[in-house]
Structure 1
Amino acid sequence: MTRRRDALAGAAARLREAGVASPEHDAAELLAHVLGTTRGNLPLVDEVSGDRVAEYDALLARRAAREPLQHLTGVAYFRHVELSVGPGVFVPRPETELLAGWAIEHASEGSRVVDLCTGSGAIAKAVADEVPGAHVHAVELDESAYAWAERNLAGTGVDLRHGDFAAAFDDLLGTVDVVTCNPPYIPLDAWESVAPEARDHDPHLALFSGADGLDAIRVLADRAARLLRPGGVLGFEHADAQGESAPGVLAATGRWSDVRDHLDLAGRPRFTTARLAR
């Protein structure tokens, strides 16, 4: 038997040495996962049995190798919903909850919402959960990610399709109220700056987008303009270094009004919104 406090302290030190950004948090989440409880209930545990310690140690080794925490637990939490995630799908980040919140604020009963590049289905599932009267549609190209989205969106009423966002939803052209997207936006030459958790484990289709990182956003600006009704709104995420260039893509087309950029909770540029000109 090992004392819980000792197990957590040793685990956090090990993860910190490996360069994990949140060692205490991840150590606790992994121990809770091994014990079948929650991080909040860990103080109720005094000792950890030998077989559980061995299981914990194996997971810590994988996390120290920078395998994403959510791949080890199989779960990601996004706003009020739970998502199944693992190899082959982009793990949703907390920053994207702000974009989802914006979409939820602009959706209403009977409105039509389209989530392009849905990945795990995080934004689509959150909108369907918090605006149950909305008609939510989502599309994903990558086969592995699509399988995860299919699993996460089962029973939600979301219309999920497998295909390229650049040509998706021809049957909805000119009728959509809200378009959301978390597109790939990392420049190809920024490979080394990407955290190992993303660079080595997230699908590259979900990460990289041309020399300046804006290729997918250029495609999005055109496709969203075709999907939205006049006065409909678009919101999409971008890199923190694209607080001017991403909105600039929309502004340059002359098809959008009310182009605004928004900060995340850390004060960094994070997502752009705009309205299709009437």
Structure 2
Amino acid sequence: MSSRRVSAVLRDAASRLEESGVASPDHDAAELLAHVLGTTRSRLPLVDDPGADQVAEFGALVERRAAREPLQHLTGLAGFRHTELKVGPGVFVPRPETELLAGWAIEAAQQVLGESGRAPVVVDLCTGSGAIARSLAQEVPEARVYAVELDEGAHAWATQNLAGTGVELRHGDMADAFDDLAGTVDVVVCNPPYIPLEAWETVAAEARDHDPHLALFSGDDGLDAMRVLERRAAVLLRPRGVVGAEHADVQGLAAPQVFVDAGRWSDVRDHLDLAGRARYLTARLAR
């Protein structure tokens, strides 16, 4: 396929995706074609002519993406920080903004290591695909990392992504997870469900129709899981241990207030993402 032919095919595919409301049609069309041809987006102008079966496969993937099936489900992979995760139906696709929360957890674990010289203990609640736990194990290899996931489908994906990393993955509810670690954890990190049930119609089709609802919705105000996290983190953390949790951009006041109202946290802060939106909170256990 010549570079001119590649451009024409991508232009047609991107137009189809744009018509269907896909937010990034050019990027997604190129990613799908690169996936089919076994190359990268930057090398598409250099590829050989594809066979008829590859053209048909690409066309089928474009139609599935036009139907708002997540791009990562179609390619089977999602990039996250310095790693790549296997994803597909049944697991929440990790978002780029969550990389900031993971970065905070990594820095917090490194600080424990630097100040105490001992291996930091980190717990990732609601691990989903295992994205945060995998990044922690990769970037702070000295850490003892634990993760838990309730949804069976997501747990199966996390099992794949955390295999060989040293992370101890468990299947269960964060509300009562890791009793054996009570009072010994340095860092608790969590990307909980946080969408109010009433916001159903505002959720992007890719998430609403394909991500597990257990990973999305959290009661009438979207903070039910945050309240559970606050209670569990207080049990797990050692004195002066820290917790970090992602939340919706409209919860920049309400989510931290969950920790303030509990009366056992200090240094409760909210943090912005790269677009300047409220994205995650952190707090330190005061006792």
Q: Give TM-score scaled by structure 2 length.
A: 0.95
Which letter does structure 2 place at the counterpart of 1:41?
A: R
1:104-160 deviation digits (Å, cap 9, x = unpaired)? 001134000000000000000000000000000000000000000000000000010
* 2:59 maps to 1:57: yes
Q: Which runs of 4+ in 1 moved over 6 A?
A: none
Q: Secondary structure at the match of 1:200?
A: helix
Q: C-alpha displacement at 1:45, in angstroms?
A: 2.5
Q: Given the alignment of the two structures, is residue 162 of structure 1 paired with residue 171 of structure 2, yes or no?
A: yes
Residue 190, structure 1, aligned to residue 192, structure 2: no
**SS at 2:192's partner residue?**
coil
5+ residue gaps, structure 2, are: 114-118
In 2, are the aligned partners of 1:118 and 1:149 still within 8 Å (CA)? yes
Structure 2 distance, partners of 1:48, 1:15, is 21
Tell me which of 179, 192, 217 is aligned to 1:208: 217
Q: Is the 8 Å Cα contact of residues 261 and 269 (structure 1) preserved in structure 2?
A: yes
Deviation string, structure 1 residues 215-241 (Cα, Å, up to 9, x no partner): 000010000011000100000000000
Corresponding residue for residue 239 of structure 1: 248
Mapped to 2, the partners of 1:271 and 1:196 lie a distance apart of 23
User: Which residue is equivalent to 2:231?
Assistant: 222
The letter of the residue matching 2:219 is: G
Q: Distance in 1 between matches of 2:155 and 2:87?
A: 11
CA distance in 2, matches of 1:248, 1:160: 30
Deviations 1:223-267 (A, max 9, x none): 001100010000000000000000000000011000000011111
Alpha-carbon distance in 2 for matches of 1:111, 1:172: 12
- Within 5 Å, give how 1:68-147 maps onto structure 2: 68-108=70-110, 109=113, 110-147=119-156
Instruction: List alignment gaps of at least 5 residues for structure 1.
Output: none
**Structure 1 counterpart of 2:41:** 39
Q: Residue 149 of structure 1 aligns with which residue?
A: 158
Distance 2:45 2:247 in 1: 39
Q: Output the amino acid matched with 2:18.
A: R
Contact 1:107 1:134 in 2 (8 A): yes
Contact 1:4–1:46 (8 Å) recurs in 2: no
Q: Distance in 2 between matches of 1:74 and 1:134?
A: 28
Residue deviations 1:149-182, cap 9 Å, x none?
A: 0000000000100000000000000000000000
Residue type of the partner of 1:91?
V
Q: CA deviation at 1:43?
A: 2.2
Q: Is the Cα contact below 8 Å between 1:84 and 1:151 reproduced in 2?
A: yes
**Partner Cα distance (1:95, 1:122) in 2:** 12
The amino acid of 2:164's aligned partner reads G
Paired with 1:198 and 1:213, the residues of 2 have a C-alpha distance of 16
CA RMSD between the two structures: 1.0
Shift, 1:41, TM fit: 1.2
How far residue 53 of structure 1 moved from its aligned partner, in angstroms, is 1.2
TM-score by length of 1: 0.98
Separation in 1, partners of 2:48, 2:273: 38
